[in-house]
Amino acid sequence: MPEENKILVILDLDETLIHATRNPLYENWDFELFNYKIFIRPHLHVFLSFLKDNFDVAVWSSASDDYVTKVVEEIFPDDYGLKFVWGRTKCTYKPDYSKAEEIGYFDYYSHFEYIKILKKVTKKFPYTKEQILIIDDTPRKAMYNFGNAIYPSEFNGDKNDNELELLVNYLETFKDISNVRTIEKRNWRDVLK
Ligand SMILES: [Mg+2]
């Protein structure tokens, strides 16, 4: 496939590739950053090299920009060639009415969330909506582009987690296709059975 037709995979960080916490459930975190203990999700190395060989790759997290830059420096090889690294300032700040429904009122101070809108990517980079996959543990972050999203389980620091290995197998399906949106992704683990 010619270089310019590669699928772009946009990766979330927290609970997708790493787990950062002040109160770890497990021992042996991998590194510390801004007073957080950070666990790297098992099989990250295999996952990242598989992606590099088959896709274009970028990072987009709703965490603060400086945190995102530092985490990326820690977990990606220097020559990895990420197409972009975006943090919170590229997200869109939206009211989250579902939280208000839970408690019965809307609180202007806490019921907002940062979401990722793909149009920002297609405006700036030469990919169409059909050529972009988002991998994010939080479905609401990709609520306007669910046809592009794959939702892994939340990583909480468990060393036995094998989600990234499963994702490598699943992503084989997407290597040579022209429209990622035609593939149903909601029950992606079932395809592996
Ligand atoms: Mg996340």
Superfamily of domain 7-191: HAD superfamily/HAD-like (3.40.50.1000)
Residues 6+ apart with CB under 8 A from 78: none
Distance 189 CA to ligand 1 centre (A): 19
Residue type, 9: V
Per-residue pLDDT of the chain (193 residues; tens, 9 = 90+): 445 679 999 999 999 999 999 999 998 999 999 999 999 999 999 999 999 999 999 999 999 999 999 999 999 999 999 999 999 999 998 877 777 777 777 676 667 788 899 999 999 999 999 999 999 999 888 888 889 999 999 999 999 999 999 999 999 989 888 899 998 888 898 888 7
Map out the domains of the chain as residue ranges: 7-191
Tell me the two tokens of residue 152: 């892994």
Distance 16 CA to ligand 1 centre (A): 5
For residue 25, the 8-state DSSP code is S
Distance 2 CA to ligand 1 centre (A): 31
Q: Tell me the CA distances in angstroms from 66 to 23, 89, 107, 152, one per residue in order.
A: 21, 11, 28, 25
Distance 141 CA to ligand 1 centre (A): 8
Distance 94 CA to ligand 1 centre (A): 17
